[in-house]
Amino acid sequence: MLPASSLRMTCCSRTVLQPHRLMRNRLPAPKAVTCSVHCASTSFHNKDTWHSSMNFRVLGTERGLLYHTNKIISPRSCSTRLVKLNCWNCKQILDKTPPFFCSSCKIIQPPEEGTSYFKIMDCDFKFTLDTQKLHTRYLQLQQSLHPDNFSQKSVKEQDFSESQSALVNKAYKTLLKPLSRGLYMLELKGMHLEEGTDSGADSGFLMELMEINEALDEAQTPEEANKIGSDTKGKLADLTEQIDAVLCKGEFDAAKALLAQMKYYANIEEKVKEKLSEFM
């Protein structure tokens, strides 16, 4: 027996793709059906990839008007909207993606589940970003979404404001730095760096890291620490170029290996900052 979610999905597909069934039952064709699909895999049997809750409810007095309140989402996905969503307040179709506000009634909307940080921050899916443009976008969004602007609004609007503002903060921080940006790109492709293991690292590379850490521990002056910090920045800059090159080619396995190296050097960079603070 198929699970309830599969039956609801099948029912939805038949309603949309086979309108003649509606004609046989003498029901008018739906005027608006809204849903959102986020693609990560073509398999519907992987419970970790696809989650669906295809709940439809009738709006108003027209039996054929359906409003889809939940979406098919994937935790790692490119967002592909088949039909636009509707405003929760006035039910008008939302004409922007992602929809922060309804263009008709101007009411704030809830975050659209599964929307990538790149789309939220109006960025191309690229490793190299214009961080100034990213910062400008962040300020613009927070100026309109910040909870302080909704203190006199309804509880629902206040909740949506807090959720939207928090999501924009997270998207901004994730895309701002090359390491977190690259790791997020891997995550969207279903790839993750394993935590707490050096098994995949080259022995020569690990030896180099050990020597750098020892030199940093033994640094007696700010100049010595700054020299290590400068060398580390150079390593990170080189890795940034290499990662950008392989990601442009779609070579995500190569990007994963390079991002693992970047993670080590980023850790050393933080240690340099801590060492310099000891000299103050």
Q: Is residue 100 very low, low, confident or very high in pLDDT (cuts 50, 70, 90)?
A: very high
Domain assignment of residue 103, yes or no: yes
Whichever domain contains 244, its CATH number is: 1.20.1280.20
The range of the structural domain enclosing residue 168 comes to 95-176
CB of 192 within 8 A of CB of 48?
no
Query: Exposure string (b/e) for 101-114, b if CB count within 10 Å is 16 or more?
Result: bbeeeebbbebbbb
Check residue 194 and give its pLDDT.
Answer: 78
Domain assignment of residue 198, yes or no: no
Q: At what angle do helices 178-188 and 155-176 cross, to 10 degrees?
A: 110
Judge whether residue 16 has pLDDT over 90. no
Judge whether residue 26 has pLDDT over 90. no
Please tell me which residue, 83 or 229, carries the higher pLDDT value. Answer: 229
The number of domains in the chain is 3
Q: What angle do CA 28, 31, 35 make, to 5 degrees?
A: 125
Q: Are residues 141 and 120 in the same domain?
A: yes
Whichever domain contains 139, its CATH number is: 1.10.287.110
Judge whether residue 166 has pLDDT over 60. yes
Mean pLDDT of the chain: 79
Domain assignment of residue 187, yes or no: no
Residue 51's φ and ψ, nearest 5 degrees, are: -135, 130
Of 42, 62, 83, which marks where a domain is finished? 83
Check residue 83 and give its pLDDT.
Answer: 63
Distance CA 262, CA 232 (A): 10
Q: Are residues 15 and 79 in the same domain?
A: yes
Check residue 280 and give its pLDDT.
Answer: 86
Check residue 24 and give its pLDDT.
Answer: 44
Domain assignment of residue 211, yes or no: yes
**Cross-strand bridge partners of residue 101:** 108
Distance CA 78, CA 95 (A): 19
Judge whether residue 34 has pLDDT over 50. no
